[in-house]
């Protein structure tokens, strides 16, 4: 039988996954970092840090990003 152990992700891996998804959906929407920043009310530095998995951001910030990108909140956590 297959491996039944749960997959364990470190915080760093999770932050990087979220960041990659933010970047993917931002580009699909045709936004630059500056445009996403303006539309979401977040700083360009914050968007950059999220996309590069450099910060542990607040859940409210992620909701702003997902709402601005018109995606479901859970899509930020999807495996690429």
Q: Is the dihedral of CA 45, 13, 67, 63 positive or negative?
A: negative
Listed in sequence order, the residues at least 6 apart from 72 whose beta carbon sits closer than 8 Å to its beta carbon are: 66
Residue 1 is predicted with a pLDDT of: 45
pTM of the model: 0.86
**CATH C-level class of 11-77:** mainly alpha
Confidence of residue 9 (pLDDT cuts 50, 70, 90): low
For every residue of the chain, DSSP letters joined together read ----SPPP--HHHHHHHHHHHHHHHHHHHT--HHHHHHHHT--HHHHHHHHTT-----HHHHHHHHHHTT--GGGGG---
Listed by start position, the domains of the chain span 11-77
- pLDDT tens for 16-74 read 999 999 999 999 999 999 999 999 999 999 999 999 999 999 999 999 999 999 999 99
Residue 75 is predicted with a pLDDT of: 97
């Amino acid at each position: 039988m297959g491996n039944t152990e749960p997959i364990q992700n470190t915080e760093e891996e999770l932050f990087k996954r979220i960041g990659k998804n933010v970047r993917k959906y931002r580009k699909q929407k045709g936004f630059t970092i500056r445009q996403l920043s303006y539309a979401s009310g977040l700083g360009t530095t914050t968007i950059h840090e999220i996309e590069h998995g450099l910060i542990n951001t607040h859940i409210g910030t992620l909701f702003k990003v997902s709402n601005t990108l018109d995606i479901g909140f859970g899509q930020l956590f999807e495996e690429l």
